[in-house]
């Protein structure tokens, strides 16, 4: 999510536009001045008296030329350095403009659907955040997670905002990965198949497989929670809540 900018930063960004124009003008004037000086020197050297005088005063003229050349080189470096800074500030202007853009009506509707089917205080998210075990889960919990993901997967449109879309796809991909990992390592148990669990016989017969299963399930769960939280933080930065309130 883009970092907030203080008033001083914003003032500097606005001022960078006029500074950019000044630097562009200064660069043009410097180049024109160099061309004029070179042209005048070329005309001046046509005279034989001038060439003789230059031979007699070669050393001081060389020193003066080197000093002027170094001064011009330093000035050019300063101008280009300032230009890089202005480009950086103008890039931040673009980021700030994107951050301040109002979300589209479609994005408001999309987030409203996400918030309804995967709310932070919903049963599925509370289970995953506070009550999740890497060794077992109820069938109802896993199927609830799968229904949630399938609902989102049936909606192909996604978000209009690029950052929200990227965060949403990462969240959705992590949710699908968690389901696939649970399905790979957990088996149904109980007469009515009310639980999914890592097979108990792996404790003694395949302890390495059990350990690997636990690690992969834990990693998939953590990845899902990280992507879920990141998505909501991106949405918060886009002021999407105001759209939901207006539509409600």
100 vs 230 pLDDT, higher one? 230
80 vs 185 pLDDT, higher one? 185
Q: What is the mean pLDDT of the chain?
A: 77
List of residues 6+ apart from 217 with CB closer than 8 A: 134, 178, 181, 182, 185, 186
Does pLDDT of 220 surpass 50? yes
Most confident range (mean pLDDT) of 75-89, 94-108, 164-178 is 164-178
Per-residue confidence (pLDDT) for residue 243, from 0 to 100? 42
pLDDT band at 94 (very low <50, low <70, confident <90, very high): low
Rounded mean pLDDT, 77-87: 71
pLDDT digits (tens, 9 = 90+) for 110-122: 999 999 999 999 9
Encoding tokens for residue 229? 């939280």
pTM above 0.85, yes or no: no
Does pLDDT of 49 surpass 50? yes
pLDDT band at 41 (very low <50, low <70, confident <90, very high): low
Encoding tokens for residue 123? 């049963």
């Amino acid at each position: 999510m883009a970092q907030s900018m203080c008033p001083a930063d914003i003032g500097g960004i606005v001022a960078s536009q006029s500074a950019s124009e000044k630097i562009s003008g200064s660069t043009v004037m410097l180049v024109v001045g160099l061309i004029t000086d070179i042209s005048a020197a070329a005309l001046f050297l046509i005279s034989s008296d001038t060439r003789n005088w230059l031979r007699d005063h070669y050393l001081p003229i060389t020193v003066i030329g080197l000093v002027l050349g170094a001064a011009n080189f330093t000035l050019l470096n300063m101008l280009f350095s300032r230009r890089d800074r202005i480009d950086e500030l103008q890039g931040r202007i673009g980021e700030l403009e994107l951050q301040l853009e109002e979300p589209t009506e479609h994005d408001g509707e999309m987030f409203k659907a996400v918030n309804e089917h995967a709310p932070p205080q919903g049963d599925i998210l509370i289970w995953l955040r506070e009550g999740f075990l890497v060794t077992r889960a109820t069938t109802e919990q896993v199927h609830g997670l799968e229904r949630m993901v399938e609902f989102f997967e049936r909606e192909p449109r996604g978000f209009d905002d690029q950052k929200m879309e990227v965060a949403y796809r990462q969240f959705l991909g992590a949710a699908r990965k968690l389901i696939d990992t649970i399905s790979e390592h957990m088996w149904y148990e109980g007469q009515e198949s009310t639980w999914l669990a890592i097979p108990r016989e792996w404790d003694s017969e395949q302890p390495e497989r059990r350990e690997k299963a636990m690690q992969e399930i834990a990693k998939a769960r953590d990845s899902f929670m990280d992507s879920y939280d990141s998505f909501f933080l991106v949405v918060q930065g886009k002021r999407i809540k105001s759209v939901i309130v207006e539509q409600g």
